[in-house]
Amino acid sequence: MTPVIMKTVLVAFHSRTGHTAEVAQNIAAGLNADMEQLREAEVRAYFRAGLDALLGRTCDLAGSITSPGNYDLVVLGTPVWAMNLPPPMRSYIVEHAGELPKVAFFCTEGGGGGNRVFGQMARLCGKSPLATLEVTEPEMKSGTSESKIKGFIDALSQKLAD
């Protein structure tokens, strides 16, 4: 993996089970990026969280949030909940859409919904991503996600070098 030298990158992500966090850590290491984990101010039960995702709701985020405007690229990472964007990532994008520079998206999923979530993210951001990455739970368990993550990092490194 070729680290980005001249450009600054932020990986902002939400993770409830740890899958998205694991992918975020690999991407951040490969891009020499800062990381920001988005946390809900009040953690909800799984059913309620999924329903809120399905209904397109936002939530309050806990802790300080790094300004995405301080970076050349923000990589946004999220799980897929009920085939939709989870409230924590939706809240972050809604709050910071005007500050977002170039963006890239990744998601973790049980087996589908990534393209739908990427469309939701692009609409909320008001821009298209430089690259996208979908990682399924079976790919994570089998280790086949490593080559996909490397390809994503390499694609972003190339685009940032241009």
**pLDDT, tens digit, for every residue of 120-136?**
999 999 999 999 999 99
β-pair partners for 39: 62
pTM of this structure? 0.91
How many angstroms separate the CA atoms of 113 and 128, rounded?
Answer: 18
β-pair partners for 74: 10, 103
How high is the mean pLDDT of the chain? 90
Q: What is the mean pLDDT of residues 45-57?
A: 76
Nearest to 94 by CA among 68, 64, 130: 68
In the CATH scheme, what is the code of domain 9-161? 3.40.50.360
Residue 75 has pLDDT above 80, yes or no: yes
Nearest to 24 by CA among 108, 102, 83: 108
Q: What is the mean pLDDT of residues 108-127?
A: 95
